[in-house]
Structure 1
Amino acid sequence: MQQRSRDMVAALLDAAAQVIVERGLDNLTTNHVAEAAGVSIGSLYQYFDDKDALVEALLQRHAAELLAVVDARLRAMIDADAREITRGILEAVFDVVENDPCRRELTRHWDRLRTRSTFRALEQHMTEACRVYLLRHHEQYRVENLPAALFVAINSLHYTVAYYLSLDRPVLRRDEVIGALADMLGAYVLAGAKKKAASRRPPPVKRRRS
């Protein structure tokens, strides 16, 4: 894609975000986006087939920005234990979403948007990041079935966070959710390590009665 096209796509996504903030996702239309971007509706359709395609591209951009924040936090906390690093990453994720009105509005409706490709990209990226972390700490966390553990852990975090952030009036505080998820993941990883360590212990020697 040429620079001019990239600039147009960026301008249209910025305009879509502006319309979502001002009017809400349910009132987003391609006409509103074209007007906000200062282009004709025909120009918009050269890049996006419909408003759903616009929203999907916006989700992908937000996901890329979110992962950049996660990667930075992971690098800064790479030597922390599983609970601490999970808590730190979740704090960063919540900050990114809650401090941006467009991200908040999109997250409120995540379950009815085209999120499959975005969630898949997030899952793949986070799986690799967690794999690198666990391999770095392999003496501490000897996970028996790493692919299965990563699949369960990553998707548990993704869907719990997405669902919580979509609630208008959550019954739990943010710190309670983050703390519970950090404790859950830390216990899950440690449980796998303890199970593997126990399996390597020799059976106790039975003493013969004299």
Structure 2
Amino acid sequence: MDRGDNQARHVAIIMDGNGRWAKRRGLPRALGHRRGVEAVRNLVRSLEDTGIECLTLYAFSSENWKRPEDEVDDLMNLMRKFIRSDLPEFIENGVRLKIVGDWQALAPDIVEMLEDALERTADGQRTVAVALNYGAQQEIVHAARAAAAEGEISERTLERHLFTAGLPPLDLLIRTSGEVRLSNFLLWQAAYAEMLFLDVLWPDFTPDHLKQALGQFASRDRRYGGR
């Protein structure tokens, strides 16, 4: 790793604030989630203007199943619509889709759609990784068990079994909405990542916010425990 490089290759975002965005406007939470999808779409379209090689988005955590059933159903339907509508654009723009988490436990039709999307975008040069049914603690347990089955638990063997294996090291983690916590997201990967907590709700997050975040990242001195 070139520690002198001030260009973020891998950025992850905890996309928080859809519900609060809707509540402040007297709108249903479902509309907040729909506006959040629009923010994702605009951000992905802007990636070509950045040096980002991988953008990882926290879309649905393993804890989100605790939400009301109608809200979960709406989120799953939004996922279906997003895949149908945006997959051709991903392919056209050379974006590779990667899914991190226990996504194969989702509804069978969603799993089938994701498998198709993964196959059709496999040759993309820039990666958008989407965390679905994801929890970092569960990920670490899964990786440790897989490493132990091979006979050795070390940083190297554990990393090889993380859901993010093969992706660049995480450089910058952003959370929107003003909350200051990781919420069980990329705990291992964030060990030396820079973090930025923004007081902006996710539906209001724009490519300009990302560019400003990249600028802040570029100004930071990453010493990795050194002096």
Bucket of the pairwise TM-score, normalised by the shorter protein:
under 0.3
Higher relative contact order (CA 8 A, sep 6+): 2
Higher strand share: 2
Greater helix share, structure number: 1
Give TM-score, length-normalised by structure 2: 0.26
Select the structure of larger CA radius of gyration. Answer: 1
